[in-house]
Amino acid sequence: MIKFYYNAAPNPMKVALLLEELGLSYEAVPVDTRKGEQFAAGYLAINPNGKVPALVDGDATVFDSNAILLYLADKTRRFVPLDPASPARAEMLSWLMFVATGVGPFSGQSVHFRHFAPEPKAYALNRYDFEANRYWTLLNERLARNTYMLGDSYGIVDMAVWGWARMVPYVLGFEDAWTRLPHVKRLLDEINARPAAERVEKLRTSHAFKAEMDADARRNMFPQNERLAG
């Protein structure tokens, strides 16, 4: 059976969505990053980068959420264009990597500098907030012209967007986020109404991950800050 290592953050949840859409049997293994479980030797043997999610499928081990999406979609031949030389496949790869290298990292850094970083942080927040806004605006413009990210077909790029779209107001820090990004909100609402997303929500709330951002959690989440302590 597939083992799916996860927490409730955006990247694991988009993998959970695909697993549920595919109807695959899997064992969900929680990894509490605020407790430092991502640094356990057993987990580092699965993902040397010490991040979630990761997937073990028989002899195959896959980490990075977008790699997992592509692996599962290719394996099951669903939710993805299959012809490697087709324009549709090229378009899919472009937008999937757009999420992987832009939307996710800049949204994550916007969250960090907006909500967790100590002062002074104005320069860093301005940089990541600007880029996060730019990426989400590009997604909104794309969805203004298309029902889904690749046109008329729901697929893994939409799931990749959905993972982070659930957090847009928190990422961007303004209350009228959905007024500014109505087409992203339309996609979010449509996916949220799918039975698979309802099952993901049950998974998300089924395990009590540590909620406190205390000193231990900060050390585990932001180990780079230890270099500043001495």
The residue range of the domain holding 133 is 87-192
Residues 42 and 132 in one domain: no
Amino acid 227: pLDDT? 87
Same domain, 54 and 144: no
Half-sphere exposure of residue 147: CA atoms within 13 angstroms, side-chain side: 7
Count how many Cα atoms sit within 13 Å of the Cα of residue 43 in the half-sphere of its side chain: 19
User: Same domain for 92 and 69?
Assistant: no
For residue 54, what is the enclosing H or E element? strand 54-57
Burial class, 200, CB count within 10 angstroms (exposed 0-12 / middle 13-18 / buried 19+): buried
On whether both 91 and 59 belong to a single domain, the answer is no
Does residue 230 lie in a domain region? Answer: no
CATH label of the domain that carries residue 26 = 3.40.30.10
Q: 144 and 187 share a domain?
A: yes
CA–CA dist 146, 153 (Å, integer):
10
Q: Which of 39, 37, 58 is nearest to 48 (CA)?
A: 39
Structure tokens at 106: 């800049």
- The SS3 call for residue 14 is helix
**Residue 226 pLDDT level (bands cut at 50, 70, 90):** confident
- Number of structural domains in the chain: 2
**Amino acid at the residue 108:** G
Output the domain CATH number for residue 177: 1.20.1050.10
What confidence tens digit (pLDDT) does each residue in 130-157 have? 999 999 999 999 999 999 999 999 999 9
Residue 72's nearest CA partner among 31, 28, 21, 5 is 21
Quote the pTM value.
0.96
Residue-level pLDDT at 204: 97
Q: How far apart are CA 58 and CA 34, in angstroms?
A: 28
In this structure, what DSSP letter does residue 122 have? H
Residue 228 has pLDDT above 90, yes or no: no
Check residue 230 and give its pLDDT: 63
Q: What is the mean pLDDT of the chain?
A: 97
pLDDT digits (tens, 9 = 90+) for 63-119: 999 999 999 999 999 999 999 999 999 999 999 999 999 999 999 999 999 999 999
pLDDT reading at 159 higher than 80:
yes
> What is the tens place of the pLDDT at every residue in 174-204?
889 999 999 999 999 999 999 999 999 999 9
Is residue 2 within 8 Å of residue 55, measured between CB atoms?
A: yes
Upstream peptide bond of 53 is cis (omega within 30 degrees of 0): yes
pLDDT digits (tens, 9 = 90+) for 4-36: 999 999 999 999 999 999 999 999 999 999 999
